[in-house]
Amino acid sequence: MNAELLILLLNLAIVVVAYGSIYPKLAGNNANKIALFDLLASGFALLVVGTKYWGTGFEFSVLFVELNWFWFTLVTYALVELPIAYWYIKKYKVNLSE
């Protein structure tokens, strides 16, 4: 498996576990708690990927753009998270205006 796919699968696994199990139990519909836990979850993804690619100079492709490991992980994490976060906000009626 190539590196891009592995990082995408890691991001997907983290987001699914977070929004499917952790956030409903620990954050509920509190937007501030969700944001805090999401910061930790995305930081975990960066930590895992960074342990392998930090300082290697390895470049990843997103469409036609080359990115380093940090930006690739962050951008793909956000892209994977957006539809799941939208579903979570609707399902748990998260109030974003607080």
Q: Summarize pLDDT for 70-84 with one digit per residue, the tens.
A: 999 999 999 999 999
Q: How many structural domains are present in the chain? A: 1
Query: H helices of the chain, where?
Result: 3-17, 23-26, 31-53, 69-91
> For the chain, what is the mean pLDDT?
95
User: Is residue 7 one of the residues assigned to a domain?
Assistant: yes
Burial class (CB in 10 A: 0-12, 13-18, 19+), 29: middle
**Could you tell me if residue 15 is inside a domain?**
yes
CA distance 45 to 4: 13
For residue 27, tell me if it sits in a domain.
yes
pLDDT band at 24 (very low <50, low <70, confident <90, very high): very high
Q: Would 38 be classed as within a structural domain?
A: yes
Question: Is 98 a domain residue?
Answer: no
Flag whether 97 is in a domain: no
CB count in 10 Å sphere of residue 82? 11
Confidence check: pLDDT of 19 > 80: yes
Three-class DSSP category at 26: helix
The whole domain housing 80 covers 3-92
Residue 63 is predicted with a pLDDT of 82
Has residue 81 been placed in a domain?
yes
98 pLDDT band, cuts 50/70/90, is low
